[in-house]
Chain A
Amino acid sequence: MFSFALKNILFYKGRSLTTFVLTFVSTLLFVVYVSMMDGSHKSMLQNAIKIYTGAIEIYHKDYRDIGGNEYLIQDTSAILKKISQIEGVEAYTSRYETFGLLSSKNNSAASMVAGIEPEKEKSLSSISEALTEGEFLTEKSGNCIYMGVELVKKLKVKLADEVAFIGAASDNSFAADIFRVCGIFKTGSFEFDLSTSFLSRDYFDTLMLSKNKASYITIKVDDLEHVEAVNEKIARVLDDNLESLTWKTLMKTMVEAMEVDSIFGYISLALFLVVIFFVIMIYGFINVSSRIKEFGVLRCVGISNSNIFSLLFYEIFILSTLAIAVAAPIGGYICYYYSINPIVIEGIAEMYKDYGIISDEIPFDFSVFTLAWNILLIYVLNFLSILYPYFYINSFRPIEASRHV
């Protein structure tokens, strides 16, 4: 039956070519689609972390639950020194966050004001890249404040305007100052852009009496895949009153949102597969309908149903193996290539900034495992697609079928 199948394939070239192309195209599309889905997933995660949350953050216990000046990290430089020696840590910085009232001539708003180390912050978060107007902070930028675009709108201020700050210093004493708007940023997260502003720690610490203190320390790791391992190492060197947490804990809601997103991803994937399946099956069905007479004659002379099944099976097996053998390396290569050299569409990040996209790169992901299950799935679909045509053929009695026109 195998060589008979092969001869059928070679004889009916048009039909074979169409089946080949269908399988080829669907394999290619599928592989690339899955790669982009996985890729955008990964990059969403990376972006989310890049904006402001670290892969790992160190807090004084209870700071996150209760907060307040009693739960600040006290000896920041000593801890930073320990962390700097841990393998897998790429960068780290400390932040001092406080809440206060910002007022312009026209309006007031509560804001989280964070003292940051501008140079270090550049390699840890993307707030410097989110700049839309003016300049990002420097160590020596003094009373310059770097403000979210929504907060700027609310206060009705513009670059170089002054805003008054009132808050509580780290010793709970009263703190007040005048800041100057030097830079405006937009991350795409409305909440964040409405409620956040930054100053250089050098200046802010003097006002808040927070030198060497920190709300928390944020850490970037070499490889996100190893974040748990690095976190364990960090936890081991910390004093008992400190805790170190990974992004999974820090961004619980974000992670949940991503899970929902991946469910939608899988639903669209399933739809995609259903479409492929029906295209292949309908085409297979059309093929078989044109072969009713051929199969009828064969059954009249004594070919059994299982012979017919093996014939159809071998035909689809040969064609889909060929198609997949060609499509898989090409698809795999495309994904691999673009995962290393991402496609850049100039301006796409600008256009979609509101949706939290902060890069012009179209993300792809390449993994041999993903490729393998993609291929397997297309195979299975192809085989399933011969079942209906097979039963359709058998629904004819041989003698009827042999006279079929």
Chain B
Amino acid sequence: MIELQNVHKYFFKDEPREVHALNNINLTLEDGEFTLFSGPSGCGKTTLLNAIGALDEIDSGKIYFDKTEISALSDTARTSLRLNQMGFVFQAYNLVPVLSVEENIGFIMKLRGFSDSEIQKRVLEVASMLEIDNKLKALPNALSGGQQQRVAVARAVAAKPKIILADEPTANLDSKNSQKLMDMMKELNKKEGVSILFASHDEYIFENVRRIVKMNDGEIVDA
């Protein structure tokens, strides 16, 4: 469970160009939820995901990941929290170009010290769920954008994190590939029970989602 209490975040605090990127956010996200953060560009979705993902600091308020207060953790503890509990999907895929598809998928598991046989088994499992099991030996740059993003999702989910944070994962994809990715993520959410938080300003994705958090100007307008 993730809980945000009175979270504020500023950029350029106390300067004329100050931005109040997160304005008094209060939110509870249950385990296993599939949540979309929506709203116009610049409303604070990325800032919020980064705060939850222990990638960025906040100026005031509290964020709890289960019982741990993220905002109070050291850099090392945040790194280890991200590695052990979270999966990330970026807009720009961000696969490791020198590693093959299967090595990319198994990368986080390897860092976490899973055995090679466990990794191999799990890589096959998620790869077939995401329909990239015929590309395992390929390097990322030989894949289409849609395939690369599915590899990124596979990497995020392979090590069984509690939550996956996906910031505009479909922004670089056409509508067909976006739809496919959304369907697969919903499937993963259902089968694996992993919470998925993602941010998007695409309107048409909304119909697929159970919970939508609407934002505007750094505030939650509808949860």
By a beta-carbon cutoff of 8 Å, the part of chain A in contact with chain B is 4, 7-8, 10-12, 294, 297-305, 307, 397-399, 402
Say yes or no: B99 contacts A7, CB within 8 Å. Answer: yes
How many A-B residue pairs have C-beta atoms within 8 angstroms? Tell me: 53
Report if B111 contacts A (CB, 8 A).
Answer: yes
Instruction: Indicate which residue in B76, B90, B96 contacts A304 across the interface (CB closer than 8 Å).
Output: B76
Interface digits, B72-103 against A, CB 8 Å rule (1 contact, 0 not)?
00001001101110111010001011110000
Q: How far is the CB of A13 from chain B (nearest CB, A)?
A: 11
Interface digits, B16-28 against A, CB 8 Å rule (1 contact, 0 not)?
0000000000000
A402 and B98 in contact, given A300-B55, A302-B80 (Cβ under 8 angstroms) = no
Give the residues in chain A near B99, CB-CB below 8 Å.
4, 7
Say yes or no: A399 contacts B56, CB within 8 Å. Answer: yes
A9 to chain B: closest residue by CB? B98
Give the residues in chain B near A399, CB-CB below 8 Å.
50, 55-56
Give the residues in chain A near B130, CB-CB below 8 Å.
none
Q: How far is the CB of A50 from chain B (nearest CB, A)?
A: 60
A299 and B79 in contact, given A307-B111, A398-B55 (Cβ under 8 angstroms) = yes
Report if B108 contacts A (CB, 8 A).
Answer: yes
Mostly helix, strand, loop or mixed at chain A's interface? helix
Instruction: Indicate which residue in A11, A302, A305, A398 contacts B98 across the interface (CB closer than 8 Å).
Output: A11
Say yes or no: B98 contacts A7, CB within 8 Å. Answer: yes
Say yes or no: B94 contacts A302, CB within 8 Å. Answer: no
Alpha-carbon gap, A305 to B83, bound state (A): 13
Closest 8 CB pairs of A and B: A302-B83, A11-B98, A302-B82, A399-B55, A297-B94, A7-B98, A8-B98, A301-B88
Give the residues in chain B near A305, CB-CB below 8 Å.
76, 79
Alpha-carbon gap, A304 to B94, bound state (A): 17
Alpha-carbon gap, A307 to B90, bound state (A): 21
Would you mind naming 27 contact pairs between A and B with Cβ atoms under 8 Å apart? A4-B98, A4-B99, A8-B98, A11-B97, A12-B98, A294-B96, A297-B90, A297-B94, A299-B79, A300-B55, A300-B90, A301-B87, A301-B107, A301-B155, A302-B79, A302-B82, A302-B83, A302-B84, A302-B86, A302-B111, A304-B76, A304-B83, A307-B111, A397-B56, A398-B55, A399-B55, A402-B90
Give the residues in chain A near B86, CB-CB below 8 Å.
302
Give the residues in chain A near B107, CB-CB below 8 Å.
301
Alpha-carbon gap, A304 to B50, bound state (A): 18
Alpha-carbon gap, A368 to B76, bound state (A): 46
Say yes or no: B108 contacts A302, CB within 8 Å. Answer: yes
Q: How far is the CB of A316 from chain B (nearest CB, A)?
A: 16
Say yes or no: B111 contacts A303, CB within 8 Å. Answer: yes
B161 to chain A: closest residue by CB? A302
Interface digits, B47-84 against A, CB 8 Å rule (1 contact, 0 not)?
00010000110000000000000000000100110111
Q: How far is the CB of B153 from chain A (nearest CB, A)?
A: 13
Q: How far is the CB of B28 from chain A (nearest CB, A)?
A: 24
